[in-house]
């Protein structure tokens, strides 16, 4: 990773808030880091300069969060500045690896927070820190964790005992919300609200078995939802929705090396629950067939994603290629190609 590029990008984005435009997530730090990983350093600063024009100022911390009563502040979006101060202090007192290992399991029940942008932003920050620790990267980790905590949102059903199915099979057991109860349009988090009264979703966390190899589980999960993406991304809104069903679980992969071994299965179950929630609230009624496709050139796919200028296409392309490197299934490349075509600026 180019240290100079990512640190310059974070400096340009340093005083921007986590949301803008009525609840849209600030993708600047995530997409900048993804561009660096994709080997497109030269595109980073021009992209950040354009993107940051739409962003809003960073909110200030006003009321300190009590370390003994932090749960009371979970899910309060207005306190994101307080959470940022809280995590900046925590990161000044302990190694960032310890902070990640402690807080990711605590925040995991709310992994779907802000359409999974909390966990995604945290994971991009962690990967950046793993290549070298700088003040800017530490602050970005604090921002990611703060956004996750401030937008913390639990879904129905508890991640209790281990189930018996891999995600690819468990998806067949997920009953979608009836069409007449769905909430199309608007923020993704609003579209998840009908799940609160959708009784079948209560059993979803317990469907999957997470006790085996963690990497294999994530590969099955992301491959499954890359197929769901191709079946459900019928317009740009649905494409953006189901992009997160891949990028969210793939972000968890980046965090697994820093988690206590006993915590990993539970965190993976919440990653499955979050992706399954998107499927139940927005997706088609049956599991789509796995699509085979010709194998496009990877560098061409990266160039196309960068050319869109779109933060979702960039992040999705990087996540799918990350997964493809470990699980070389054509569906990942087909999903990138589709997203590059449907998402254009």
pLDDT tens digit at each of 345 positions of the chain = 567 899 999 999 999 999 999 999 999 999 999 999 999 999 999 999 999 999 999 999 999 999 999 999 999 999 999 999 999 999 999 999 999 999 999 999 999 999 999 999 999 999 999 999 999 999 999 999 999 999 999 999 876 678 899 999 999 999 999 988 988 778 999 999 999 999 999 999 999 999 899 999 999 999 999 999 999 998 999 999 999 999 999 999 999 999 999 999 999 999 999 999 999 999 874 445 555 556 889 999 999 999 999 999 999 999 999 999 999 999 999 999 999 999 875
Q: What angle do CA 287, 203, 331 make, to 5 degrees?
A: 25
Residue 304 contacts residue 277 (beta carbons within 8 Å): no
Q: What are the tokens at 326?
A: 């470990």
Q: What are the tokens at 275?
A: 């992706």
Rg of the chain taking only CA atoms, in angstroms = 19
pLDDT for 286 equals 47
Alpha helices in the chain (DSSP H): 3-13, 28-37, 41-51, 80-93, 96-107, 113-130, 135-150, 167-170, 188-191, 214-232, 236-255, 264-282, 298-308, 311-326, 330-342
Residue 18 contacts residue 77 (beta carbons within 8 Å): no
Residue 271 contacts residue 248 (beta carbons within 8 Å): yes
Residue 45 contacts residue 9 (beta carbons within 8 Å): yes
- Cα 27 to Cα 111: distance, rounded to the nearest angstrom: 17
Residue 276 contacts residue 155 (beta carbons within 8 Å): no
Residue-range domain boundaries for the chain: 3-150, 156-345
pLDDT for 293 equals 54
Evaluated on CA atoms 25, 30, 35, 41, the torsion sign reads positive
- Cα 80 to Cα 26: distance, rounded to the nearest angstrom: 13
Q: How many whole angstroms from its chain centre is CA 331?
A: 19
- Cα 48 to Cα 27: distance, rounded to the nearest angstrom: 10
Give the residue carrying structure tokens 């993406």: 229
Query: Global pTM?
Result: 0.96
């Amino acid at each position: 990773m180019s240290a100079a590029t990512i640190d310059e990008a974070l400096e340009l984005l340093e005083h921007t808030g986590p949301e803008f435009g009525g609840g849209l997530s600030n993708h600047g730090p995530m997409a900048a880091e993804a561009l660096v990983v994709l080997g497109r350093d030269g595109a980073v600063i021009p992209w950040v300069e354009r993107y940051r024009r739409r962003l809003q100022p960073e909110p200030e911390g006003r009321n300190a969060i009590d370390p003994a009563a932090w749960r009371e502040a979970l899910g309060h979006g207005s306190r994101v500045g307080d959470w940022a101060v809280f995590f900046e202090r925590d990161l000044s007192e302990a190694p960032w690896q310890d902070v990640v290992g402690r807080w990711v399991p605590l925040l995991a029940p709310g992994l779907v927070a802000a359409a999974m942008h909390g966990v995604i932003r945290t994971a991009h920050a962690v990967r950046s820190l793993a290549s070298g620790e700088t003040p800017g990267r530490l602050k970005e980790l604090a921002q990611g964790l703060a956004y996750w905590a401030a937008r913390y949102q639990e879904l129905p059903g508890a991640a209790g005992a281990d189930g018996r199915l891999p995600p690819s099979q468990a998806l067949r057991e997920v009953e979608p919300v009836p069409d007449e109860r769905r909430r199309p349009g608007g923020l993704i988090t609003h579209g998840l609200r009908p799940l609160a009264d959708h009784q079948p979703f209560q059993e979803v966390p317990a469907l999957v078995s997470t006790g085996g190899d963690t990497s294999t589980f994530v590969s099955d999960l992301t491959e499954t939802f890359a197929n769901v993406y191709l079946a459900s991304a019928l317009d740009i809104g649905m494409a953006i929705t189901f992009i997160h069903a891949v990028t969210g679980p793939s972000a968890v992969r980046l965090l697994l090396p820093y988690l206590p071994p006993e915590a990993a299965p539970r965190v993976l179950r919440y990653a499955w629950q979050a992706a399954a929630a998107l499927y139940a609230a927005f997706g088609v009624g049956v599991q789509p067939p796995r699509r085979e496709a010709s194998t496009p050139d990877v560098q061409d796919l990266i160039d196309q994603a960068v050319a869109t200028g779109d933060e979702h296409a960039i992040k999705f392309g990087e996540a799918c290629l990350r997964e493809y490197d470990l699980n070389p299934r054509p569906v990942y490349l087909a999903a990138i190609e589709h997203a590059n075509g449907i998402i254009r600026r």
